[in-house]
Amino acid sequence: MNPVYNLSFIRKLVQIAAFAFFVYGGTLTGYYLADKVTGSLPALSCAYDKQGSDLCTLIPLQHQMNHRLGEVIASGGNLMMGLMPSLITLGTFLILFVFLNKAFCGWLCPLGTFQELLHNLGQKLGLQRRESLGQGLVQRIRPIKWLILLLLVFGFPLMAGIGWVNHDLGDPFCRICPSRILTTLATGDASQLNLDHANGTTLTLSLIADFLFGLIIVLALTVRQPFCRICPMLALHAVFRKLGLLRLVKNARPRCEKCGLCAKACPMDISEIHTEMQKRDVTFEDCTLCGRCVEFCPDKDVLQLKYATIPVFSADPAYFKQRKKDQRTWEGDNLYALLKNTADGPGGKQS
């Protein structure tokens, strides 16, 4: 297939370009790119990266819960004054989010790109499994992202500001976020891998951060998007996904109930894409709008990526046949197959 017409290839180019901009873009205009383009990016881009061009909205939200709202509550001040910074941050987030919806996860997030590249490496090593996770496990994992959003982004920072918990819990998600380690390492800064011995809280958080980053590297080789499944940014996206202009639309046909290729292609293992037969908007809470389900749908226009009312990419039988062929070739060309073929004789028997 011509790469120009391959959605996955186009998305990979966009992801790599976005990674370079968000991780190294600040080098173009100096330290922190004049305090960052925005502090409300709807994707994980870290302020600890001093060469970065942006930072995600989860960073200011934690600080605002701690130093603004929490301290106002503790002092008995004007509650609206404490809430206003967070409302402004969320408002800016929404302005950006409306344009691309959850595609910020599937197309722009540096950590998402890193996990996909690791999985591609796993495929080339012959390590990948046909399906990432069973549906029972997927269902049990899904609530975790909501717990992390409520506790680590809003709950503990707010309690730290009020004075109910240790001040070091004022930004707990940032302290364990794997994007902080990834983006700083990408610029040659290994300081975020160090264990913080200041006290028990900081030591525990830094241990969790290092363990989580290492676990993601190991899991991503065989499991698609391991951290994305529990990312609080994905949960925040899910809250506002109905407002985004870009969305996944399904025009269900009777054959859909027997097919299921869309769900198998989904890197987030969203089985509902296959089973939903009534709703047209199938931008489910775990969807990252990567478009793989549309690529691997064999029926004309059953699945579409639409921007407002305009289809930007639609399922097509001819595209599907070529895309499936390319995928089989990609999965077949790996180190394991090469070694196996080298070990086997011309007749298929081991030499």
- Identify the segments of the chain with pLDDT beneath 70: 1-4, 29-36, 128-131, 344-351
Burial class (CB in 10 A: 0-12, 13-18, 19+), 328: exposed
How do 310-314 and 246-250 pair as beta strands? unpaired
CB 270 within 8 A of CB 224: no
Provide the pLDDT for residue 72: 94
Provide the pLDDT for residue 351: 35
Provide the pLDDT for residue 50: 85
Question: Helices 178-186 & 7-24, crossing angle to 10 degrees?
Answer: 80
Provide the pLDDT for residue 54: 85
Provide the pLDDT for residue 38: 78
